[in-house]
Structure 1
Amino acid sequence: MSLRRLFAIVLKELRQMRRDRITLAMIVGIPVMQLVLFGYAINLNLRGLSTGIADQANSAASRAVVMDMVATGVIKPTVSATTPRELMERLRRGEISIGVVIPPDFERRRFEGREAVQILVDGSDTVVQSAAIQLAQLPLDPRPSSNTAPLKAGPGQGGGPVSVVTFYNPERRSAVNIVPGLIGVILTMTMVLFTGVAIVRERERGNMELLIATPVSRSELMIGKVLPYAAIGLIQTTVVLALGVWLFEVPIRGSVLDVYLAAVLLILANLTLGLLISTKAQSQFQAMQMTFFVFLPSILLSGFMFPFAGMPRVVQWLAEVLPLTHFLRLIRGVMLRGASLLELWPDVLALLAFTAVMMTLAISRFRKRLD
């Protein structure tokens, strides 16, 4: 072995790495991204959960109970309701994560030691369930009046003055929460990667010359690249759904058609993002590297692995740009809460807008030229 030749090869690799900007970005970007995400953006302690309040007693004591709950920082009142049915409807549509119900006879129930406060929880997110149970275990009113008994916390899931009622996943099975999200994770990983290398592969294999000689327009080429992978994405969705229902008994409470329509929205969003990547990457390896930069924030910030409500406000704004964030709200709303896509229209519009913007940018960047 010649040390001179070995040194020459090492020097050649370093020079090639220096010219590869994407590789250089990954050398520095990946540790920085993970440090920032895990150290700053990801927080397992939930704060500011959107909450609906139905204070039917409307007394000084009931308002004090609500204020004590808000003071914990776990909940943030965003909706006022008059009946528990209104709160349940808003839970189903995903507008709130927690509902607090104080009955009209709150004072008498409190004096008799019966159930006086009821906390309704969206159980499609198991982390929210845990936060609600902790909330119910707090001494909510340490300043009782002289003619009433103090309101102490009940034993978690019910049976005391403060009870927690969990909807959509009362058994707290993690599979019910994870399997619908896995559809989005798998589609994000595969769809972006497949199309990310599509145009690059044509260029590397020499097929681009043949496409240039044809009368196919840029729009026709891009859309033609997307459609076959859309069918593949639907097949993947079917496989995950079938295994989820068969192996893990994950319910599909909403329309199966809505499930597939939500999947189509995510598939199109990811495919157009992959096309945009393919117009920027110079090789298939670069396309895979750029896909990794998209996939890592998606899986960490979308609410799949870590609670969305625990992230700082700035990070939540960034997560709203990611298609997976909106898909998770859609798929969990349809499969677990029985909501329809029409009721979840803000996330539908977000995915449609993302697809339109990415497709426009991809078509505008693509040129039927080898240079």
Structure 2
Amino acid sequence: MIRLKALLVKEFIQMSRDRLTFAMMVMLPIVQLLVFGYAINTDVKHLSTVVFDQSLSYESRDLLSSFEASGYFDINYAAGSFQAVSDHIESGKTKVGIIIPPDFAANLKHGRTASFQVIVDASDSMAASSAISTAQMIGQIKSQQILVEKMQAIAGKSIAAPYDIRIRPWYNPDFVTAFYMVPGILGVVLTMTMVMITSMAIVRERERGTLEQLIVTPLKSYELMLGKIIPYVFVGYVQVTLALLVGIFVFDLPVQGSILLLYGLTLIYILAALALGILISNMAQTQMQAMQMSFFIFLPSVLLSGFMFPREAMPRFFFWLSHIIPLTFFLEILRGIILKGLSIRFLWSQIAALLVFITVALTVSIVKFQKKLG
């Protein structure tokens, strides 16, 4: 019993000395609770919406006001053509497009059915389902309001439904879950392996006592960093290839875009994930610290990147916080190429964000990594 007490005291003393490890153990549950309890929300509201209003009438403005008043649609763009609507949705700027024809007001005034189109980006099935159900509900409510007014004036006559909502789900019209999840899983697997493996690279050398051998070499700091990164690039490509083959042949994943473009942009993300791992490795003192820091970053990356939960449903703070997570941009690239068939002209902002992240992470790592024993 005395020996057990002595062992417990020794472990608590050791834990208190390793302040970073202790802080990570305390902070990790708090981060999990905040992210799970506050940031994660399946009720998707404030979907960015583009409108092509060819009617420009009181009736069309009243309809659009109903969409905005629901809280599910934020009309952020006014398009001048159908192609402009298409470009906004393809680029990811908007999730919903509303197209109102020129004869919309005239049809309502003459008692005819007035049609309008709602285009939804169904590559995010959860957000698309919310948008479709809300749009249909708005159409039904507006129709009921007009029908009540007409029935009070004209009794005993059949009246056509005032609104005809034509829903057009793009990219994943059948809402196949695998089409949405498989590209996301590919990104998550890359993140988990690249970050966690490389996060222990420098620390492992230090603990084994082999870091001194690297320090006495004529290699420069950035050359040592590259030497730790490059071998894992090939590992990442093997994972991507296997994941794509399984997705295509097992889940019938439709790859709409260029495979060469996908592989080229995947290299940028692999470098970003490896740069993050190297940064963690330079900050950690032990492999345990490196593992805890990797998990501390990995969990928010999965939850806030849009892998499982739509980012549009998150509070503004967490939505903007997701912009510093590399996986957020890589998922947009993956789903954009695989499901939408996007070309590189629609992906420049995501590419730029990843390149900035790589530059910052590697620069900090090189500066922090001194050619001397830590």
Q: Does 1:316 align with 2:314?
A: no
Structure 2 counterpart of 1:158: none
Q: Does 1:254 align with 2:257?
A: yes
Report if the CA contact (8 A) 2:90-2:346 is conserved.
no
Q: 1: distance between equivalents of 2:160 and 2:23?
A: 59
Report if the CA contact (8 A) 2:336-2:342 is conserved.
yes
Identity of aligned residues (%): 43
Aligned amino acid, residue 337 of structure 2: V
Structure 1 77/26 Cα, relative in aligned 2: closer, same or farther at 3 Å?
same
Deviation at 1:137, TM superposition (A): 2.4
Report the secondary structure of 1:215's partner residue. coil
Structure 1 351/139 Cα, relative in aligned 2: closer, same or farther at 3 Å?
closer
Report the secondary structure of 2:324's partner residue. coil
Report if the CA contact (8 A) 1:184-1:327 is conserved.
yes
Aligned pairs (5 A) from 1:89-128: 89-110=87-108, 114=113, 116-128=115-127
Structure 1 counterpart of 2:216: 213
Deviation at 1:139, TM superposition (A): 3.7
Q: 1: distance between equivalents of 2:114 and 2:307?
A: 34
> Which structure 2 segments of 5+ residues have no match?
none
Select which of 352, 356, 359 maps to 1:356.
359
Structure 1 counterpart of 2:288: 285
Structure 2 counterpart of 1:156: none
Report the secondary structure of 2:341's partner residue. coil
Q: 1: distance between equivalents of 2:112 and 2:205?
A: 73
Q: Single out whichever of 255-264 and 289-298 deviates more from structure 2.
A: 255-264
Higher relative contact order (CA 8 A, sep 6+): 2
Select which of 198, 201, 206 maps to 1:198.
201
Aligned amino acid, residue 258 of structure 1: L
Deviation at 1:143, TM superposition (A): 5.0
Report the secondary structure of 1:50's partner residue. strand
Report the secondary structure of 1:230's partner residue. helix
The alignment of Structure 1 onto Structure 2 pairs a total of residues equal to 362
Structure 1 counterpart of 2:76: 78
Report the secondary structure of 1:339's partner residue. coil
The two structures have a TM-score, normalised by structure 2, of 0.92
Aligned amino acid, residue 115 of structure 2: A
Q: 2: distance between equivalents of 1:365 and 1:151?
A: 68
Q: Does 1:39 align with 2:42?
A: no
CA RMSD across the alignment = 1.9
Structure 1 counterpart of 2:56: 58
Report the secondary structure of 2:173's partner residue. coil
Report the secondary structure of 1:336's partner residue. helix
The C-alpha deviation readout for 1:190-214, integer Å capped at 9, x for no partner, is 1111110011111122221211221
Q: 2: distance between equivalents of 1:27 and 1:293?
A: 9
The C-alpha deviation readout for 1:235-271, integer Å capped at 9, x for no partner, is 1111111111111111111111111122111111111
Q: 1: distance between equivalents of 2:279 and 2:171?
A: 38
The C-alpha deviation readout for 1:1-38, integer Å capped at 9, x for no partner, is xx100110111111111112233223321221111112
Report the secondary structure of 1:367's partner residue. coil
Q: 2: distance between equivalents of 1:22 and 1:244?
A: 40
Report if the CA contact (8 A) 2:47-2:312 is conserved.
yes
Structure 1 counterpart of 2:131: 132
Aligned amino acid, residue 103 of structure 2: D
Q: 2: distance between equivalents of 1:114 and 1:175?
A: 37
Deviation at 1:56, TM superposition (A): 1.1
Report if the CA contact (8 A) 1:124-1:169 is conserved.
yes
Aligned pairs (5 A) from 1:164-203: 164-203=167-206
Deviation at 1:342, TM superposition (A): 2.5
